[in-house]
């Protein structure tokens, strides 16, 4: 089973790896950070660890 990195947007560890290979950096991580700054992060509710 793929390891989820982002429960809010459903990204896995492999998604991030492939993103870095394809783009030279993680555009996914940039999106996650931007969404979090905009208040769209619901990790505390969606992540079983609460973070």
Whether 2 and 13 have beta carbons less than 8 Å apart is answered as yes
1-51 pLDDT, tens digit per residue, is: 888 888 889 999 999 999 999 999 999 999 999 998 998 888 778 877 766
* C-alpha closest to that of 36 among 48, 47, 20, 25: 47
Pairing mode, strands 4-6 and 11-12: antiparallel
What was the pLDDT predicted at 46?
80
Q: Is residue 18 part of a domain?
A: yes
Q: What is the domain count for the chain?
A: 1
What was the pLDDT predicted at 8?
86
Concatenated DSSP letters of 1-51: -PPEEETTTTEEHHHHHHHHHHHSS-HHHHHHHHHHHTT---HHHHSTT--
Whether 8 and 34 have beta carbons less than 8 Å apart is answered as no
What was the pLDDT predicted at 49?
77
What was the pLDDT predicted at 51?
64
Expressed as residue numbers, the domain containing 37 is: 4-46
What was the pLDDT predicted at 44?
76
Q: Is residue 51 part of a domain?
A: no
């Amino acid at each position: 089973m793929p390891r989820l990195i982002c429960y809010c947007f459903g990204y896995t560890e492999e998604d991030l790896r492939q993103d870095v290979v394809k783009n030279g950096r993680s555009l996914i991580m940039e999106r996650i950070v931007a969404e979090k700054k905009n208040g769209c992060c619901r990790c505390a509710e969606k992540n079983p660890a609460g973070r």
